[in-house]
């Protein structure tokens, strides 16, 4: 990173709430702190999303297993099937050999990014694993005296086909990984929290690791005296902790490293209260601490130890599985519920003039605004795009058709198209409007840690909704309980949990007590 003068002037604020939101002494939210010119420049530089190494490694395993099995089946149908038909005993070595090969490559570190970048060394390792598998099967077949039951041409064809596939695939993968590395898409983008000598020692230790994939984007620290200089080990201080929350929502940051001694638990705790609302991994640097835990308590970058504090929820393969789940079930729901949606659209137009679909801005993933779709349930002249006033019982703004579709949640069905677009998930914390209030106060002013519910993509339905927390939030306790359920869902997510919530949703919708 170019060494620019990082001396920035920041605006004062009354205090920083545990939510990571600036609030005045009376709890009124203040505008987020503005980033300085250098911080904005760095954030723009890192807007492009990275590719998780776990995704590449997992995809490589799946592709190699599938292709080895397909090559074996292909040789079988080409050479064996015309004479022997469906000889099922070929399937056992074929599937077992494919699995064993993947395990051997995994055991020799053949699914690491460092391995993917190479040509000769990775091919030698893989050819060795593939050859060991065939040597193993040859030994088994010899001692079991069943070698005559298998075609030698099939074995040799499968072996040579596997070598050819590995050569082509791993060469292409190496070219792709090197390209992604040069583009900065395979790095873990990190921000150092805390400056001074501790941060300097950490940076030097990281940069001395040969396989370090961490890209330091800058330093943030609330201190402004000699203990925290403007430049540490060549990296500029970009702002305060309050500005880090804004920065991390603009840039695609993967990791926050808190470079503060573990013994300073008070200061560490205060920082974590402000940062845990972000959808990133957060860890504590432990390289200078005399306090030591068991080795498995740490994660390591080379020889540099870290203590995990918060992990990004629903990351890597989990996010892909959840996205596939959303696309499949949302598509089926759109097909199955299309008559209901068509009838609703006709009823709305028959009762009142105006568009059938109502669009409204809501908070989405990482606190970014998204535009959601709903069937219009109010008179056109009384619609409330900002949700400044929540709908109450017998609200005069709601039409007759609107009352019915709101009680049955039919008005939410167009959000299935938001799921297809990627704005929403089928299951997750319900997206709230920026101006939504509980007992006359904005949600973020009522609930500490409110924005932590935005660490995952919002959903059409959620754990809070099926537990009765839907509809009007006329008291502070209602929004607190809703957020508690949202956070429980985030911390305990699984595909089975999503499926359970989806199954219960139509049953719980029969309770319309709080739906107006």
Query: For each of the chain's 516 residues, which pLDDT tens digit applies?
Result: 333 332 222 223 223 333 344 444 344 455 566 788 888 888 888 888 888 888 999 999 999 999 999 999 999 999 888 888 888 888 888 999 999 999 999 988 899 888 898 878 888 889 999 999 999 888 887 777 776 788 889 889 999 999 999 999 999 999 999 998 888 888 888 999 888 888 888 888 888 877 778 889 989 988 777 777 888 888 888 988 888 888 988 888 888 988 877 666 677 777 787 888 888 888 888 765 544 555 555 677 767 788 888 888 998 889 999 999 999 999 999 999 999 999 999 999 999 888 999 998 888 888 888 999 999 988 887 777 666 677 767 788 888 998 899 888 899 999 999 999 999 999 999 998 887 778 778 888 888 788 889 899 999 999 998 988 877 777 888 889 999 999 999 999 999 999 999 999 988 876 656 555
If asked whether residues 347 and 490 sit together in one domain, one would say yes
Would 5 be classed as within a structural domain? no
The contacts found for 510-514 with CB under 8 angstroms, 24 or more apart, are 511/468, 512/407, 512/408, 514/468, 514/470, 514/471, 514/472
Helix 317-351 vs helix 53-75: crossing angle, to nearest 10: 100
If asked whether residues 84 and 147 sit together in one domain, one would say yes
Q: Please list the residues that pair with 299 across neighbouring strands.
A: 306
If asked whether residues 64 and 36 sit together in one domain, one would say no
pLDDT of residue 181: 84
- The total domain count for the chain is 3
Would 9 be classed as within a structural domain? no
In this structure, how many other beta carbons lie within 10 angstroms of the beta carbon of residue 87? 15
pLDDT of residue 511: 66
Q: Which of 144, 163, 182 is the last residue of a domain?
A: 182
- Residues near 303 by beta carbon (within 8 Å), at least 6 away in sequence: 205, 209
Instruction: Residue 366: give the domain boundaries.
Output: 317-508
Would 514 be classed as within a structural domain? no
If asked whether residues 131 and 30 sit together in one domain, one would say no
- Residues near 194 by beta carbon (within 8 Å), at least 6 away in sequence: 219, 221, 228, 258, 259, 260, 271
DSSP assignment letter at 398: B
Q: Which of 159, 182, 205 is the last residue of a domain?
A: 182
If asked whether residues 376 and 500 sit together in one domain, one would say yes
DSSP assignment letter at 80: I
Rounded Cα distance between 85 and 214, Å, is 54
Q: Which of 310, 328, 352 is the last residue of a domain?
A: 310
pLDDT of residue 495: 93
Look at the block and give the residue holding tokens 């391995």: 115
Structure tokens at 195: 């400056």
If asked whether residues 178 and 205 sit together in one domain, one would say no
For residue 200, which of 224, 240, 238, 227 has the smallest C-alpha distance? 227
In this structure, how many other beta carbons lie within 10 angstroms of the beta carbon of residue 62? 11
If asked whether residues 63 and 158 sit together in one domain, one would say yes
Would 484 be classed as within a structural domain? yes
Whole-model pTM: value is: 0.78
Would 357 be classed as within a structural domain? yes
If asked whether residues 68 and 114 sit together in one domain, one would say yes
Would 453 be classed as within a structural domain? yes
Q: Give me the CATH number covering residue 258.
A: 3.40.50.720
By the 10 Å C-beta count (0-12 exposed, 13-18 middle, 19+ buried), 301 is classed as: buried
If asked whether residues 162 and 242 sit together in one domain, one would say no
Would 352 be classed as within a structural domain? yes
If asked whether residues 244 and 328 sit together in one domain, one would say no
If asked whether residues 326 and 215 sit together in one domain, one would say no
If asked whether residues 198 and 214 sit together in one domain, one would say yes
DSSP assignment letter at 76: I
DSSP assignment letter at 396: T
Cα-based angle 215, 218, 222 (whole degrees, multiple of 5)? 145
pLDDT of residue 224: 74
Would 3 be classed as within a structural domain? no
């Amino acid at each position: 990173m170019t060494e620019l003068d990082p001396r920035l002037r920041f605006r004062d604020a009354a205090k920083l709430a545990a939510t990571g939101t600036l609030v005045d002494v009376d709890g009124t939210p203040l505008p987020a702190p503005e980033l300085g010119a250098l911080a904005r420049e760095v954030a723009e530089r890192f807007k492009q999303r990275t590719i998780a190494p776990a995704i590449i490694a997992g995809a490589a395993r799946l592709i190699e297993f599938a292709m080895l099995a397909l090559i074996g089946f292909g040789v079988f149908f080409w050479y064996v099937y015309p004479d022997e038909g469906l000889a099922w005993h070929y399937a056992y070595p074929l599937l077992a050999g494919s699995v064993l090969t993947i395990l051997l490559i995994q055991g020799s570190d053949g699914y690491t990014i460092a391995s993917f970048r190479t040509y000769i060394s990775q091919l030698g390792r893989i050819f060795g694993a593939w050859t060991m598998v065939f040597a193993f099967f040859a030994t088994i077949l010899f001692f079991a005296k069943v070698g005559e039951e298998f075609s030698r041409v099939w074995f040799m064809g499968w072996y040579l086909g596997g070598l050819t596939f590995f050569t082509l695939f791993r060469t292409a993968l190496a070219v792709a990984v090197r390209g992604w590395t040069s583009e900065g898409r395979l790095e873990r983008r990190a921000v150092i929290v805390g400056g001074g000598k501790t941060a300097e020692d950490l940076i030097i230790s990281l940069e001395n690791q040969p396989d370090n994939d961490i890209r330091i984007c800058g330093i943030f620290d609330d201190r402004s005296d000699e203990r925290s200089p403007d430049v540490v080990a060549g990296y500029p201080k970009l702002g305060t902790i309050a500005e880090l929350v804004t920065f991390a929502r603009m840039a695609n940051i993967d990791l926050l490293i808190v470079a503060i001694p573990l013994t300073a638990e008070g200061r560490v705790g205060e920082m974590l209260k402000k940062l845990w609302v972000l959808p990133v991994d957060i860890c504590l640097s432990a390289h200078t601490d005399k306090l030591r835990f068991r080795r498995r308590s740490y994660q390591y970058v080379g020889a540099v130890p870290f203590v995990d504090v918060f992990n990004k929820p629903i990351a890597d393969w989990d996010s892909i599985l959840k996205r596939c789940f959303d696309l499949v079930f949302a598509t089926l729901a759109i097909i199955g519920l299309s008559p209901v949606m068509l009838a609703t659209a006709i009823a709305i137009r028959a009762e009142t003039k105006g568009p059938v679909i109502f669009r409204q801005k809501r908070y989405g993933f990482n606190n970014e605004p998204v535009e959601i779709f709903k069937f219009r349930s109010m008179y056109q002249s009384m619609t409330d795009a900002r949700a400044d006033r929540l709908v109450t019982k017998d609200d005069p703004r709601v039409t007759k058709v609107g009352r019915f579709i709101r009680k049955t949640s039919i008005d939410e069905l167009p959000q299935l198209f938001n799921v297809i677009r990627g704005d929403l998930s089928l299951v997750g914390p319900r997206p709230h409007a920026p101006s939504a209030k509980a007992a006359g106060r904005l949600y973020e002013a009522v609930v500490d840690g409110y924005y932590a519910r935005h660490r995952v993509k919002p959903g059409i339905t959620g754990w809070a909704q099926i537990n009765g927390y839907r509809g009007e939030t006329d008291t502070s306790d209602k929004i607190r309980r809703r957020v508690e359920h949202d956070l429980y869902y985030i911390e305990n997510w699984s595909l089975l949990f999503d499926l359970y919530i989806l199954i219960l949703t139509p049953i719980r919708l029969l309770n319309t007590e709080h739906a107006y």
